[in-house]
Amino acid sequence: MIEKYLDQIIQGDTLEVLKTFPDECIDCIITSPPYWGLRDYGDETNTIWGGDPNCKHEFELEHIYREPSKTGEISEKAKIGQGYRNYKSGFCKKCGAWYGQLGLEPTLKMYIEHMLQITAELKRVLKPSGVMFWNHGDSYATQSGSGKIYENIMPGYEEKAGSAGLRHRKLLEKQGIPRKSLFLQNFRLILKMVDEQGWTLRDVIIWAKKIWIAKENTTKGNAMPSSVRDRCAFTYEPVFMLTKSEKYWFNQDILRVPQKESSFERVKYEITKFGGNPSQPLAKLAKGKSGGACQTTVNLHPLGANRPNVWQINTEPFHDSHFAVFPTSLVKSLIEAGCPQWICKKCGKARERITERGNIISTCGSDKGKWAHSQDKNVQGWKMVAREHITIGWTDCGCNAGWESGVVLDPFAGSGTTLYVARKLGRHYIGIELNPEYVKMAKNDLQKSQSDWISL
C-alpha cells in the first residue's frame, strides 16, 4: 500500500524503492534526474547496476581525477591535488556489473539504459490519469565546463582535467559524438521513452532562466553568465510533459493568463481569411459565411488565454549546499495543473470542473467584450462575438466517501523543493533521495512551521 510512504522522503536508491510501490498509485510526477556527466554527488550515492545479483562482485575500481561540483558539497578532505577529487567507479570482472553514480556512467548509452529502467518503473506507478513533468537539461562534448567531467569519467583515463587532447577526441569518436556538440542526452532519452516504453509526449515547456527582449534589446532573468565565444549563452532547460494515456487529469484553467486588450479589440470584427481585420469589416468569412461585423464565433476564453509553453522564471537561491534547486513558482504551476486537489477516497475519481456555456458579447465596433449567459441571446444593443464556458462548480461522484488530495512523487528529490511546495498546496507528497545530506536538508524544510514557509 502506498499509504505508508505518504508525506515522507525516503532515503534509498530510486530504482529499488520504486519497485516496492504498487501499480498506478501516483497522480503526478515532478522531477529532475541527474544529468549525464555533469555533477558529482559523492561516493555515498554509488550503486551497482546490472550483472548477476548473486555474484560476489570483484570491482576493478578506477580512481579518476575530476573537478568537484562548484557548490561546496564535497568536503575538504575529499579533495586532492589542485582541487580535484578522487572518483571511484568500475566494472565487476566476474559478471560485468558496473559500480558508480547515476549520471557518471562511462558512456551516454549506458546512462540512457539506466534511466530507462527508472522511467519504466515510473510509468508503472503512475495512474492512467496521471502526468509526469521531467526537467532534463544537456551538456556539451567539450574540454571545458561539463565536458571535463565527461572526459574524466571515461575508463582508462588517468590524467587530470585540462589535458585531454587526442585522447579526448578518440573517446568522443567512439560514441559518435562530434566534439563541441550538444550530447542531446535529454532528447535521446525521451525518444526512447516514447518509442520503446509507450509514453506520450504532450508538451515541452521551456523554462527560460533569461530571455532577450528584441524590442528593447535587453535581457530579463538571472541565468548563470557565460563566456563562450562561438554560440549564444545557454539559458533555458526543457520540462517534458509526458502521460501514459490519451485522457488524463489536467487543470488548464489554473495556467491561463489575462486576455490582452488587443484580443478584445479584435473580436469586434469578423474573421476574414486574413484574420480579424478592422479595415475589412464586411469581407467574407473564412468559413464561407458572409455578412456584417459581429457575426463570427471566436475562441476567447473569459478566464484568460492559454499560457504559452515558454516560461521565464528566475532561479532562486538556496540556503544549503545544493546546486540544482527548482524555482518554487515553476513547481507550483506544475502541481496545480497536474495533481488533483480532490480525489474520492472510495472510487479514486478526481473531481472535474463543471462549466456552463456562455457568450462574450459586444456592440459592433465599440466597447470591450463582456460576458453573458447563453440564455441571454438578446441583451440590449449587444451581439455575441465569442462563445466559451465558465466554471460553476465541481463534479461529485456520489460515493459520499469524502475527498483526499492527489499524490506528487519526486524520485530525485534533492533538497525537497517539489515536496515542500506540494505540502504547502495541500497535496500528498513522496520523495526518494539517495544522498543522506540532501535528505537531511529536505526534512529540515518540511518540518518548518507554516509561519516560516516562503509565500508562493
Q: What tens digit of pLDDT does each residue of 85-112 get? A: 556 788 999 999 999 999 888 888 999 9
Q: Provide φ and ψ at 187, rounded to 5°.
A: -70, -35
Q: Grid cell 515541452 — which residue? A: 204
Residue 370 to residues 252, 365, 385, Cα–Cα distance (Å): 22, 13, 10
- Helices 108-125 and 185-197 cross at an angle (nearest 10°) of 50
Nearest to 406 by CA among 14, 30, 20, 10: 30
Q: How far, rounded to the nearest angstrom, does the alpha carbon of residue 6 sit from its chain's CA centroid? A: 21
Q: Show the CA angle centred on residue 127, arms to residues 123 and 133, nearest 5°.
A: 60
Domain boundaries, the chain: 2-46+101-139+182-257+310-350+400-452, 261-299+353-394
> Which DSSP state fits 262?
H
Q: What tens digit of pLDDT does each residue of 387-432 get? A: 455 666 777 888 888 889 999 999 999 989 999 999 999 999 999 9
What cell was used for 128? 492512467
d(CA 303, CA 59): 60
CB of 295 within 8 A of CB of 289? yes
Q: Show the CA angle centred on residue 10, arms to residues 456 and 240, nearest 5°.
A: 55
What is the length of the chain?
A: 456
d(CA 114, CA 108): 10
Whole-number pLDDT of residue 224:
80
Q: How far, rounded to the nearest angstrom, does the alpha carbon of residue 169 sit from its chain's CA centroid? A: 33
Q: What tens digit of pLDDT does each residue of 186-200 get? A: 999 999 999 999 999
Burial class (CB in 10 A: 0-12, 13-18, 19+), 215: exposed
Q: What tens digit of pLDDT does each residue of 290-334 get? A: 444 444 444 566 677 889 999 999 987 755 544 557 889 999 999
Whole-number pLDDT of residue 304:
78
d(CA 394, CA 387): 21
Q: Show the CA angle centred on residue 71, arms to residues 68 and 74, nearest 5°.
A: 45
Q: Show the CA angle centred on residue 445, arms to residues 22 and 332, nearest 5°.
A: 65
- Superfamily of domain 2-46+101-139+182-257+310-350+400-452 in the CATH hierarchy: Vaccinia Virus protein VP39 (3.40.50.150)
d(CA 407, CA 45): 26
Average pLDDT score, the chain: 76
Q: What tens digit of pLDDT does each residue of 39-72 get? A: 777 778 899 999 999 999 999 887 655 444 433 3
CB of 250 within 8 A of CB of 205? no
DSSP string computed for 131-162:
EEEEE----BSSSSTHHHHHHHTSTT--SPTT
